[in-house]
Structure 1
Amino acid sequence: MKAQDIMSRRVITVRRDSALKEAIATMLEHGISGLPVTDENGALVGMLTEGDLLRRSELGTERRRPRWLEFLVGPGKLAAEYTHAHGRTVADAMSESLHYATPDMPLQQVVEMMEKQRIKRVPVLEDGRLVGIITRANLLRALALAAPSLPAVSPSDEQIRQQLETELAASAWAPRSMLNVAVQDGEVHLYGTILDGREREALCVAARNIPGVTAVHDHLIWCEPTSGMVVEAPPEPDQPDQPAPGQRGA
């Protein structure tokens, strides 16, 4: 999947010379938390987001530091912060650092950019022209559409076991050498030893995601490597004791 597959093509922008009050009104009117900023020629020059408006003199939230720290910070940075907190135009408050995608950029790279730069939206540029924007809401909509549907034919227990085996073989975290899996009537039983408590939920998630699985039963034992402490699997709620099915190696 690429950026152009999920981006919003209707992009609401604001001019850098616009009054900050007008930009805030636009954000509130459209229910958005950020705006791409353009110059008089329509070229992208920055972003204005809710985060840029946290430190404002009107709110009494401008940044304050002890005198000794102000000396270390220097007058240049202090002057820039003053402009950011007291300015009345979009240019005064916006972030000038730009991180953007191209229409054919793989979605994986877009998400990595959002994580690394800690941003919630990425403008999409084609030949320097703003053609779209990707927000976290776009990612959620794409995820909803990509959610797997139930198969028309229920797979056999052996097919379920094989699919789970394939999934775990492709996962570097999976403790395959210490794991046994049994499948009976669509219900997956997980046996074995794990060395990290987080592996328990990951294994259950992997099993639940296999088409045809109706239930997952956790019989795993967690052995903490440092202390040697052993933690049994948590009891299943409202489940009577039943003979376990035969165990098979995954």
Structure 2
Amino acid sequence: MQVEAVMTSPVVGIEPSASIADAAKLMLSRKISGLPVIRSDGALVGIVSEGDFLRRGELGTKRQRSRWLEFLVSPGKVADEYVHANGRRVEEVMSDGVVTTTRDASLEDVVELMTRHHVKRLPVVEGGRVVGIIARSDLLRALLRVLPISASSGIADEQIRQNIVTELAGQIWSGTSMIHVNVDEGIAELSGAIFDERQRLAARVAAENVAGVKAVTDHLFCAEPLSVILVS
């Protein structure tokens, strides 16, 4: 799936010269946690988010350091923190150097960028102009659209069992699987041995995601690797 399919467009943005009060009001009224900062010519110059308003002098939340620690911090960093705590215009508190994406980028690429740069939203840029924005909430809506609403019906129990076995066999965490599967009227029963409790939940999830499964019962037991004797 590509960005264009899930991004929000047109974009709600704000100009650099706008007041932080206007930015805060806009975010609250639109129920969004961040705004791209866009010049009148459409160029992206930054992004302002709720996080930029955390350290404010008015709230008594600006960063405090002990006197001796102040000597270890560069004057430039202290000056930057002062601007963020006291600035009145969006351009004074926004984050620049914005991480962006494109319409044709994959959602996998988007998640990788969000994770690597610790950001919650990415402006979508085309020809130097912002054409959309993709946020975590857009990914959540995309997930909701593709999740199955209810279990499929009309699939034979044996076919369901084979599909679960195939799914387990394809997972590296299952190793040489000692998990046995039985299916009766869409109810999948898992039995046998696992060697790590985390495999239990993974096996349940694997079974639950197979079409036709109505519920999963777990009779797996966890054993130390050397305590299981295989009898052929």
Residue of structure 1 equivalent to 2:108: 108
C-alpha separation between the residues in 2 aligned to 1:219 and 1:153? 24
Question: CA 1:151–1:31 in 2, change beyond 3 Å: closer, same or farther?
Answer: closer
> How many Å apart are 1:3 and its aligned residue?
0.2
Residue of structure 1 equivalent to 2:165: 165
1:1-250 to 2 correspondences below 5 Å: 1-150=1-150, 153-223=153-223
> How many Å apart are 1:56 and its aligned residue?
0.5
One-letter identity of the residue aligned with 2:124: V
Counterpart of 1:219 in 2: which secondary structure? strand
C-alpha separation between the residues in 2 aligned to 1:49 and 1:88? 14
> How many Å apart are 1:196 and its aligned residue?
2.1
C-alpha separation between the residues in 2 aligned to 1:214 and 1:176? 26
- Cα pair 2:152 2:213 within 8 Å, conserved: no
Question: CA 1:229–1:16 in 2, change beyond 3 Å: closer, same or farther?
Answer: farther
C-alpha separation between the residues in 2 aligned to 1:136 and 1:174? 31
> How many Å apart are 1:178 and its aligned residue?
2.3
Moved more, 195-204 or 169-178: 169-178
Q: Deviations over 1:88-120 (max 9, x none)?
A: 110111111311110000011111211222222
Residue ranges of structure 1 left out of the alignment (5+ in a row): 231-250
Instruction: Give TM-score, length-normalised by structure 2.
Output: 0.91
Q: CA RMSD in A?
A: 2.0
> How many Å apart are 1:193 and its aligned residue?
1.9
- Cα pair 2:36 2:46 within 8 Å, conserved: yes
Residue of structure 2 equivalent to 1:234: none
Question: CA 1:26–1:96 in 2, change beyond 3 Å: closer, same or farther?
Answer: same
Corresponding residue pairs, total: 228
One-letter identity of the residue aligned with 1:222: C
Residue ranges of structure 2 left out of the alignment (5+ in a row): none
Q: Deviations over 1:172-226 (max 9, x none)?
A: 222442222222232211112222222111111111121211221111112356x
| Structure 1 consecutive aligned stretches of length 4 or more whose deviation exceeds 4 Å | 149-153
| Percent of aligned positions that are identical | 49
Counterpart of 1:177 in 2: which secondary structure? coil
Question: CA 1:132–1:186 in 2, change beyond 3 Å: closer, same or farther?
Answer: same
Moved more, 42-51 or 189-198: 189-198
